[in-house]
Structure 1
Amino acid sequence: MKTYTLMLLTVASFMGCTDEKKGSVQSQEPESPFIYKRDREFTFLASHFDMDGRLTGLDTLFLTTNSKIFNEKYGQTYSSWSSTGGDFGSNFTGVTEHDTAVWIHPPRDGRYKKLELSPFPMVKYPLVKGNGWSWDLLVGSHYSIEGYAEWADNTAEAFASTYRITRELPLQTQIGKVDCFEIESFTESNFERTELKSYFNPAYGFVRMEYRNIDKGRLLMELIRVRHAQSGTMLPFKDLQLQ
């Protein structure tokens, strides 16, 4: 994991299918209260848009997770991101998950570097419409974005994020209709305000993330597959309404 300056005090304080083919039934995963603290691979389709809404690129991202301790101080377990688009091979980072909150690092290499300056995917329980929370982050200058957010070397800038659960809804996705909580979040700093609208399912985590980033471009990340990381067996999506 790259060395960088982060303020994770808030995290430390409170963070601690049916097959894709209709009719195919697969073995159930053992019951567990956790989403990311087990051996899973989450596959996302990433669509990149410029500030005028034009599609500029597609990528496939893989988030692999397990229950091994990554950072004991912040209660993080191991995760890794990899990309098929040439931005990076694979890098390790952490996930914080327990009975009060879920928080994950987004990919932050290549064209995804700017996600460091946007709200991180996060939920705080209970999942109830209207609930909100905040989180502050200090970011080192090696994450500055030329022309959009630049600051002096060896210094850090403050980025303050606020979150609110706006509604509960059945979300139509590429894998079917999934019950989700919609979370709107914003990050304020000395630069352009950034945004993340995320859709969270209590069994499968973040199934859709819509970013407006520091360069005013947009990124859409859509969950298209979940499987056991070790065996490769597809996982059944509970209560999934197939198309």
Structure 2
Amino acid sequence: MKRKLLTLLVLASTGCFAQQYDGVHLEKSNIDKNNLIYKLGREFIYTFKIGENETIVYLKNNDTDIFELTKHGDSLPLSEIHMTVLKPKIFKRVNKNQTQILYSLEPHSNSISTTGLSENEQNVWLHPTRMGFFQSLETCPYPYIKLGKPIGYKWSDSMSIGNHWSNKKWGEWENRLLLNYEYEIIAREKVVTQLGKIDCLKVRATATSAIGSSELISYFSEKYGFVKLEYNLFTGIKIEMNLDQIIDGPILRDAREFYQYKRKQ
């Protein structure tokens, strides 16, 4: 338990570092109260698939900086990402002016992290999970959509990241890496999910930098949020995440309450 809480603190502190995305609209008040999708206490459960060199691989172990990929799917791999919306205590919000979320990997999760998202009338934008292997997502565009815009609408943004995010699996660099993002709403499509067939806006986003380019195709529903995420990393690794379930649970404040709640289940 102590180790998990230490992991949480480390990941939370790194999550606050160098997050530009200056084009994102952040609220100064009612940050959580007017959320229509990412409501307090709500848990979003995603399954994920990883492809490397045209081969499906599985995530066997995943900790703060240590992970293990395997080709053997019968070795009890981690298979789900759970995203829970928290109500932090006063002055305990990890990311200023953002709704607080907690990520955990299941089953037998050995690390969790807290970070933030923004949901309002202008945009929906969220930090991805960035534990272990999923630090790779820091090199990709974040899930992000401008609301009320037509098909064909484009926008740009940027962010620089430190070399503590680098890894030979998804790209290495020295000092800081500047990522320039281009987003475009390219279509409206029906996506087949475990929740049914969902009408979504399809957004293509690219991140270009000195070491190459990465891509995110996201599918956004006004009712369910981001229901499908397709990442293509600098090195060609592919990650697909699919929303399978949404649970309205109790309102939790922090990692301690999260663990207490999970033990009772």
Match of 2:213 in 1: 193
Shift of 1:89: 2.1
Q: Larger helix proportion, structure 1 or 2?
A: 2
Q: Which residues of 2 match residues 1-80 of structure 1 at below 5 A?
A: 1-3=12-14, 5-11=17-23, 14-16=25-27, 34-52=36-54, 54-57=55-58, 59-68=79-88, 70=93, 73=96, 75-80=97-102
Structure 1 residues 202 and 127, CA, compared in 2 at 3 Å: closer, same or farther? farther
Q: Is this contact kept in 2: 1:87–1:110, CA < 8 A?
A: no
What is the SS of the residue equivalent to 2:13? coil
Structure 1 residues 165 and 47, CA, compared in 2 at 3 Å: closer, same or farther? same
Residue 224 (structure 1) aligned with residue 244 (structure 2): yes
Q: Is this contact kept in 1: 2:95–2:116, CA < 8 A?
A: no
**When the two structures are superposed, what TM-score results if normalisation uses the length of structure 2?**
0.73
Structure 1 residues 141 and 87, CA, compared in 2 at 3 Å: closer, same or farther? farther
State the identity %: 27
**When the two structures are superposed, what TM-score results if normalisation uses the length of structure 1?**
0.79
Match of 2:116 in 1: 94
Shift of 1:216: 0.7
Q: Is this contact kept in 1: 2:183–2:205, CA < 8 A?
A: yes
Letter paired with 2:228: R
Letter paired with 1:48: I
User: C-alpha deviations, 1:61-86, integer Å up to 9, x for none?
Assistant: 0000135473564x211101100266
Match of 2:197 in 1: 177
CA distance in 2 between counterparts of 1:72 and 1:225 reads 26
Give the gaps of 5 or more residues in structure 2. Answer: 1-11, 28-32, 59-77, 252-265
CA distance in 2 between counterparts of 1:227 and 1:10 reads 32
Shift of 1:41: 0.1
Shift of 1:146: 2.3
> Runs (4+) of structure 1 moved beyond 4 Å?
85-88
CA distance in 2 between counterparts of 1:87 and 1:47 reads 17
Q: Name the Cα RMSD after superposition.
A: 2.3
Residue 83 (structure 1) aligned with residue 105 (structure 2): yes
Letter paired with 1:3: T
Q: Is this contact kept in 2: 1:148–1:192, CA < 8 A?
A: no
Residue 209 (structure 1) aligned with residue 220 (structure 2): no
Letter paired with 2:229: M
Structure 1 residues 65 and 147, CA, compared in 2 at 3 Å: closer, same or farther? closer
